[in-house]
Every structure is written in structure tokens, then in C-alpha cells.
Structure 1
């Protein structure tokens, strides 16, 4: 009976040894820098570095675009204020009413010809 237990023990040890050998080979291929996950990790690390540099460049560009846009917005607001003042000042000027707009009594009175009799003295001169 002891002999059978020893044979099973040796068989189990050999099986565990073969299993460890297979796992060691798989782990070596897994960590291979050219074909395995180690290579993928190295490639991803390089891509992360490239993306970090690109992100920094994009941030710098966005910051300069933001400052430029702020300046343009300020200029546009100033021009809009000046235009509002010009439009407001144009309401004070006498002008023609747009076609189709109703005429006021003052406009109708100034459009009709005015006939005046002249005194005899003015005609002789």
C-alpha cells in the first residue's frame, strides 16, 4: 500500500512539474517584448507619450485662440456700441419716410404748394 502511495506521489509531482514548465513557457511568451503583452505595453506607453505632447500643443493653441477671440469680442462690442450711438443719432435727423409709411400732418402740409398774394409794392420792384 505504501508503494502505491509513493507511485501516486511521484506521479503527482511529475504532473505538477510539467504543469509548471508549461506555465513558465506561456509566461515567457506573454512577457515577450516583441510579440506579447510586453510589446503591447511598450507600444501603448509610446503612444501615451505622443498623445501627451499633442494634448499640450492643443492646449497652447486653444489658449492663444481664446485670447485672440476675447480681443475680437471686445472690439466687436465697442463697434456695436458706436453703431448704436450712430443709429440713435440718426433718429434726430429729418428725413424722408419710407415708402408706404403713413405721412404725418406736418409732412402733408409741407408737401402741398403754398400760394401767397404779393403786395403791389413787391411786384413793382
Structure 2
């Protein structure tokens, strides 16, 4: 959830949740409300999939490089295979021929999610979910 909301909204949500729930029984609905209040993002689908269900997201991933008037950009594309959609952030590493690496966190929230990123040079490869932080089956 932190990857979808960003650090500020995520930690603000925790700060809102903690004093309201301290020394009493708290449910996921209270936690969800705290995060929604701080982020302004509806989280019904997120909590339904990740808390109340047992399925895993299944994604197809592709990437391609396209020429632009100012250089090149890499197009990252995820397509969700599962019937019901998930909301999850996926880390994608861009590895350049120079040895430089850049990590982009891509929010995957629709049936097809695409992101275009200007490159900083020639790409050697694109790695997806290297640290397995996104709980999903990802096919390349």
C-alpha cells in the first residue's frame, strides 16, 4: 500500500490510525478509513483483494524502447490476467549499458497499465520485481 499511496500519505495514515485505535480493538475498516482520509484515495478494492481474499495477482509484463524527437523512451506495460483487478506497485529496474541503474515503481491498477520513461542512455535490460516485493505471478 505504501508504494501506491506514497510515503507521506502512508505514514500520515498510520499516525491517524494509531491514536484512534490505541488500547482498543481495531479492525481493518478503521485502518482503511485512516489511509483513505489521509490519501484521498478509495481503497475498497485494495483491502478486498489483499485482506479479505486469497487470490494472487497474475500479470503479463512487456517492455519496449521507442524513439522520440529528443531521444528514446522505454514503454513498460503490465496486463492483469486475473478476472478481478488488483492494485499493486511493481518495481522495475532499468539497467543501462553504462552500468547505471534506475528503479521505477509503477502502480498497476487497471486491466492494462503503461508507463513511458525517457531513457538516460542505451538500455542493457529491464528487470521486473527483482526483490519480489510485489506479491504477484509475473510472466515476461
- Interval containing the TM-score (normalised by the shorter chain): under 0.3
Question: Bigger relative contact order, structure 1 or 2, given CA contacts below 8 A and separation 6+?
Answer: 2
> Structure 1 or 2: larger strand share?
2
> Structure 1 or 2: larger helix share?
1
TM-score by length of 2: 0.13
